[in-house]
């Protein structure tokens, strides 16, 4: 079964919420009505650190070979206007998975999601460009390129979620915790999965 845009959006928001949950018990996601989405070009927004992060999700259009995605110039124009006023706030997110089974096999969906700043897509939308553009993702070589074009300007380098925002993948640790009570020391063996401290994220991260 095809990994639809709505399925990707729901799973992505859930994955990112789970990653943030140890540091924020109430991640503030905002959704738009269908009419608002058509007008604003925004699928979801996350309030983090006093600012809004804007997401536009794109589903794969091909179920074999390299995944492809359809981008609309009108939608990009609206989002790029937001990006000009609020740099490093507006992102397109592309799933590597083309079908539900593949998406289910990933230990971490964030790691297998490819991000690009809205403004980085400007070479694909010159003044007289068509209303739609089809892009292809070559994740092994980290290339997102315009179908049918040999122009080097029509190739950009996307980032995986982990590379751009810091790795949220959980790592299991054994921890010895000692607690002293009534002159007796009690040792606890804990098995804990720790996400990365958000203070260690890159300075340019929109989550900082």
Instruction: Tell me which of 207 and 13 has the higher pLDDT.
Output: 13
The model's pTM is 0.77
Please state, rounded to an integer, the average pLDDT across all residues of the chain.
Answer: 80
User: What is the pLDDT, as a whole number, of residue 64?
Assistant: 67
User: What is the pLDDT, as a whole number, of residue 205?
Assistant: 46
- What's the CATH number of domain 5-166, 3.40.1350.10, 3.20.20.120, 3.40.50.300, 3.90.180.10? 3.40.1350.10
The answer for 73, left when phi > 0, alpha when psi is -120 to 50, beta otherwise, is: alpha
Give per-residue pLDDT as tens, 170-182. 554 444 445 455 5
Asked if residue 119 lies in contact with residue 83, where contact means CB atoms within 8 angstroms, the answer is: yes
**pLDDT over threshold 70, residue 194:** no
């Amino acid at each position: 079964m095809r990994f639809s845009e709505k399925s990707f959006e729901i799973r992505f928001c859930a994955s990112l919420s789970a990653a943030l949950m140890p540091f924020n018990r109430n991640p503030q996601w905002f959704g738009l009505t269908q009419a608002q989405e058509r007008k604003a070009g925004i699928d979801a927004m996350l309030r983090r650190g006093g600012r809004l992060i804007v997401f536009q999700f794109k589903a794969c259009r091909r179920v074999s070979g390299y995944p492809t995605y359809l981008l609309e110039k009108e939608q990009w124009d609206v989002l790029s206007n937001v990006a000009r006023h609020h740099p490093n706030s507006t992102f397109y997110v592309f799933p590597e998975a083309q079908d539900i089974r593949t998406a289910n096999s990933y230990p971490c969906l964030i790691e297998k999601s490819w991000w690009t700043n809205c403004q980085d897509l400007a070479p694909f939308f010159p003044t007289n460009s068509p209303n739609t553009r089809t892009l292809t993702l070559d994740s092994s070589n980290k290339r997102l390129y315009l179908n049918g074009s040999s122009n080097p300007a029509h190739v950009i380098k996307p980032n995986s979620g982990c590379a751009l925002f810091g790795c949220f993948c959980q790592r299991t640790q054994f921890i010895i915790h000692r607690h002293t009570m009534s002159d007796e020391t009690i040792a606890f063996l804990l098995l804990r999965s720790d996400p990365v401290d958000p203070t260690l994220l890159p300075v340019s991260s929109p989550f900082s």
